Amino acid sequence: MTDYYIEHPKIFVSVDCIVFGFEENKLKLLIGKRKMDPGRGEWSLYGGFVRQNESLTDAAKRVLYELTGLNDIYMQQVRAFGDVNRDPGERVISVAYCALINVQDYDDRLLDKYGVEWVEMNHLPKLYSDHNQMVDSAVKLLRLHVSSKPLSFNLLPELFTLTQLQKVYEGILGQEIDKRNFRKRVKMMDFIEKTDAIDKVTSKRGAALYRFNEKAYLEDPTFKL
Amino acid sequence: MTDYYIEHPKIFVSVDCIVFGFEENKLKLLIGKRKMDPGRGEWSLYGGFVRQNESLTDAAKRVLYELTGLNDIYMQQVRAFGDVNRDPGERVISVAYCALINVQDYDDRLLDKYGVEWVEMNHLPKLYSDHNQMVDSAVKLLRLHVSSKPLSFNLLPELFTLTQLQKVYEGILGQEIDKRNFRKRVKMMDFIEKTDAIDKVTSKRGAALYRFNEKAYLEDPTFKL
DNA sequence: CCAAAAGTGTTCCGTCTACACCCATGG
DNA sequence: CCATGGGTGTAGACGGAACACTTTTGG
DSSP of A179-201: HHHHHHHHHH-TTEEEEEEEE-S
d(CA A139, CA B183): 34
- The spacing between the Cα labelled CA in A131 and the C1' in D15, in angstroms, equals 39
In chain A, the residue whose alpha carbon lies closest to the alpha carbon of B36 is A4
CB count in 10 Å sphere of residue B203: 11
Report the relative pairing of strands B10-23 and A10-23 from DSSP bridges. antiparallel
Residues of chain A below pLDDT 50: none
User: What mean pLDDT is predicted for residues B146-173?
Assistant: 98
Q: In this prediction, what percent of chain B has a pLDDT beyond 90?
A: 98
Which chain B residues are closer than 8 Å to A128 by Cβ? none
Q: Are B120 and B22 in contact (CB under 8 A)?
A: no
Q: Which of A2, A11, A37 is closest, CB to CB, to B11?
A: A11
Pick from A21, A25, A42: which is nearest to A33 by CA? A42
pLDDT at A3: 85
Chain B nearest-CA distance from A82, in A, is 5
Q: Is the peptide bond before B150 cis (omega within 30 degrees of 0)?
A: no
Q: Tell me the pLDDT tens digit for each residue of A4-21.
A: 999 999 999 999 999 999
Average pLDDT across chain A, whole number: 97
pLDDT at B3: 85
Phi, psi of B168, deg, nearest 5: -60, -45
- Which of B1, B2, B8, B37 best probes binding to A when mutated, by most A CB atoms within 10 angstroms? B8
Confidence (pTM): 0.96
In chain A, the residue whose alpha carbon lies closest to the alpha carbon of B81 is A56
- The spacing between the Cα labelled CA in B181 and the C1' in D16, in angstroms, equals 9
* Residue B189 scores a pLDDT above 90: yes
Q: Tell me the pLDDT tens digit for each residue of B111-126.
A: 999 999 999 999 999 9
